[in-house]
Copies of this chain bind each other. A is one copy, B any other.
Amino acid sequence: MSQDEAGVDLETSLGYLLKEASSALRAAMEAVLRPLGMTVTHYSCLELLAQRPGLSNSELARGAFVTRQSMNVLLQALERDGYVTRPAEAPVGKVLPARLTPRGRRSLAKASAAVRSVEVRMLSGMTDAEQSAAYAALQSMIRSLQTPSS
């Protein structure tokens, strides 16, 4: 087995490195969330609702980077299991504002601590200046990519 050959172009690509970092972060989050019976999207949904109560299904989907269809499936399960509540009828339009139940809040507390430990570990080798630089760089990439190419 050739464990690690000399790096080529892919190794110098920021895009590839971004994917690698994101993949590592996701794997680390899955590892700590699995014992709690949670997926990353599941956790993201709860965390979003804790920080911004009343978000709609579509808003949650955007915040968790999935489609609103996928988020809808998740929300229905969370509602069925009593982690989240949504009014039976929309107070205005079709938008159904979702909120955490006490049970949802308890469930999130554990997950939140686990995820925070992952983030702390991820940042452990970086100075504050490096973190700021990374923050600015990532925001710049996002801004450039959001502009449609065509």
A interface residues with partner B (beta carbon < 8 Å): 1-2, 5, 8-10, 13-15, 17-28, 31-32, 47-48, 51-52, 59, 63, 65, 95, 115, 117-119, 121-126, 130-131, 133-147, 149
Residue numbers in B under 8 Å from A95 (CB-CB): 1
* Alpha-carbon separation in the docked complex, A133 to B63 (Å): 27
Residue numbers in B under 8 Å from A14 (CB-CB): 119, 122-123, 131, 134-135, 138
A145 x B24 contact (CB < 8 A): yes
* Alpha-carbon separation in the docked complex, A131 to B18 (Å): 12
Residue numbers in B under 8 Å from A32 (CB-CB): 149
Closest 7 CB pairs of A and B: A22-B22, A134-B137, A133-B133, A24-B145, A23-B65, A8-B51, A21-B138
Known: A14-B134, A20-B138, A22-B22. 14 other contacts (CB 8 A): A2-B59, A14-B135, A17-B135, A17-B138, A18-B25, A19-B22, A21-B138, A24-B141, A24-B142, A28-B145, A117-B149, A126-B141, A133-B134, A134-B137
